[in-house]
Amino acid sequence: MAENHLANVTDLEAEDMIRKRAFAAYVSYGTPVVKSMRLSGFSSPSKPGAARLLADPFVRERMEDCMVELRRSLLHSREALVAQLDEAVELAHNLEEPGAMVAGLVAKARVLGLLGENNSAGRGLPTKVTVEWGPESTETIYEKTNPLLFDAVAGAVS
């Protein structure tokens, strides 16, 4: 009889750990805490109950694990996007389409965080973009001193 009771306690603890692990995952990926409790199978989900769970060391550790995985997946997504932009820029270069090239380069710069979010004052914009088609052929397609181009690029980037 005592063994049966211990088995029940162990099963309850295992179920609790599974619910806590699910709660940590839901919260880490942006689900509101009370809804995370409900989706994880906790009875009587509430903000105070969620606060207690968020203070639990096991839950905090699982949340950090989820955040590490999320950062890793976002980094891979970002790398894949940059690789696709590189291919698009190369294609635009091969087709001698400077506008498409600049658009691809600006998009890549934004993905890499090289262009700031607040470009209304021109912060983060290049002062000049020159395309070289070979040793004898270069073309400046954007200069910050040209107000029409500057406004167009600033509008496209912001």
What pLDDT is stored for residue 87 in this prediction? 86
- Asked if residue 10 and residue 58 are part of one domain, the reply reads yes
The tokens for 110 are 């934004």
Determine, yes or no, domain membership for 89: no
- Asked if residue 45 and residue 11 are part of one domain, the reply reads yes
- 36/20 Cα distance (integer angstroms): 10
117-126 per-position pLDDT tens digit:
544 445 555 6
| Cα four-point dihedral sign 58, 60, 66, 68 | negative
Counted domains in the chain: 2
* Number of Cβ atoms within 10 Å of the Cβ of 99: 11
Determine, yes or no, domain membership for 21: yes
- Asked if residue 100 and residue 53 are part of one domain, the reply reads no
Structural domain boundaries, residue 64: 2-71
- Asked if residue 67 and residue 31 are part of one domain, the reply reads yes
Closest to 66 (Cα-Cα) out of 104, 19, 21, 31: 21
Q: Which residues contact 119 (CB under 8 A, 6 or more apart)?
A: 125, 154, 157, 158
Determine, yes or no, domain membership for 152: yes
The tokens for 117 are 């979010």
Determine, yes or no, domain membership for 87: no
Determine, yes or no, domain membership for 91: no
Mean pLDDT of each 10-residue bin along the chain, 158 residues long: 60 88 90 92 92 93 90 79 84 83 82 62 58 68 53 53
125-156 per-position pLDDT tens digit:
566 666 666 677 766 655 555 555 555 555 55
- Asked if residue 115 and residue 59 are part of one domain, the reply reads no
